[in-house]
């Protein structure tokens, strides 16, 4: 098995997972900004990681837009975000629907890990966006389940990354045969 981990990370949590996964698989982890689609040709397993921003997995189009070229490889995508892992309904509906169109999920196995959001580290546009979202949601008289979740997310402030969370992904990749995701 020849594997590669590619990541796009603004605040470092997706990069931390990329390093842990690469270490566990004894392979390289590369920043997506240094990777072109042609560079992936020699690998039979491609693992892509991106932080979640407004439910979009940063940079995941490198995989989803090039699926025809990558279909024969074992494809894994992981996202990092602050959505609590027990909010699977939120994750499955919004994130999967938004990022994976058509039958792409029959070729890609997706994992979600907790990331970090340290408010004092956020860029000004990000801090402003979080504040505006919070204000908007707090103004709701009868917030829906989804709106309550968003308020909870805006209040998250900390590093929730967990090295042990990579176990299932690593086990999936180590299971040598290419199977339907
Ligand atoms: C503007 C903004 C939007 C975000 N949107 C989401 C989101 O939709 N879902 C989620 O779970 N986390 C969201 N987050 C949290 C980030 O996904 C989280 O901080 C992640 O760990 C960032 O990855 P990185 O450290 O690799 O950049 C958002 C954070 C910011 C600043």
- Per-residue model confidence as pLDDT tens digits over 32-66: 999 999 999 999 999 999 999 989 999 999 999 99
Contact 23, 51 (CB under 8 A): no
pLDDT classification of 137: cutoffs 50, 70, 90 = confident
User: 12 CA to middle of ligand 1, Å?
Assistant: 11
pLDDT, mean over the chain: 91
Q: Which pLDDT score, from 0 to 100, does residue 58 have?
A: 98
Residues 100 and 35 in one domain: yes
Probe residue for ligand 1, chosen from 78, 82, 120 as the CB with the greatest number of ligand atoms within 8 Å: 82
Contact 170, 21 (CB under 8 A): yes
Residue 69 has pLDDT above 90, yes or no: yes
Residues contacting residue 63 through CB under 8 Å, at least 6 positions apart: 46, 48, 70, 75, 77, 108
Q: Which pLDDT score, from 0 to 100, does residue 154 have?
A: 82
Residue 60 forms part of a structural domain = yes
Residues 151 and 73 in one domain: no
Domain that holds residue 62: 3-116+159-174
Residue nearest to atom 21 of ligand 1 (CA): 115
Residues 68 and 99 in one domain: yes
Residues 69 and 100 in one domain: yes
Q: Which pLDDT score, from 0 to 100, does residue 179 have?
A: 56
Residue 171 has pLDDT above 80, yes or no: yes
Residue 22 forms part of a structural domain = yes
Residues 60 and 31 in one domain: yes
Residues 151 and 166 in one domain: no
Residues 35 and 78 in one domain: yes
Residue 180 forms part of a structural domain = no
| CATH code, 77 | 3.40.50.360
Residues 16 and 84 in one domain: yes
Q: Which pLDDT score, from 0 to 100, does residue 4 have?
A: 98
Residue 102 forms part of a structural domain = yes
User: 104 CA to middle of ligand 1, Å?
Assistant: 23
């Amino acid at each position: 098995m020849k594997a590669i981990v590619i990541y796009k990370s603004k605040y470092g949590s997706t990069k931390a997972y990329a390093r842990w996964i690469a270490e566990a698989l004894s392979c390289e982890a590369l920043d997506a900004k240094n990777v072109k689609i042609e560079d992936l040709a020699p690998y039979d397993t491609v693992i892509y990681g991106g932080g979640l921003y407004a439910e979009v997995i940063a940079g995941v189009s490198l995989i989803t837009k090039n699926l025809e070229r990558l279909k024969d490889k074992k494809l894994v995508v992981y996202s990092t975000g602050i959505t609590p892992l027990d909010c699977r309904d939120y994750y499955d509906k919004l994130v999967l629907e938004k990022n994976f169109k058509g039958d792409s999920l029959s070729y890609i196995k997706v994992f979600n890990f907790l990331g970090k959001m340290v408010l004092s580290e956020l860029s000004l546009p990000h801090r402003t966006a979080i504040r505006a979202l919070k204000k908007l949601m707090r103004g709701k008289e009868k917030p829906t389940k989804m709106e309550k979740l968003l308020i909870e997310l805006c209040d998250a402030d900390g590093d929730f990354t967990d090295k042990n969370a990579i176990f299932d992904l690593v086990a999936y990749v180590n299971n040598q045969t290419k199977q339907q995701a």
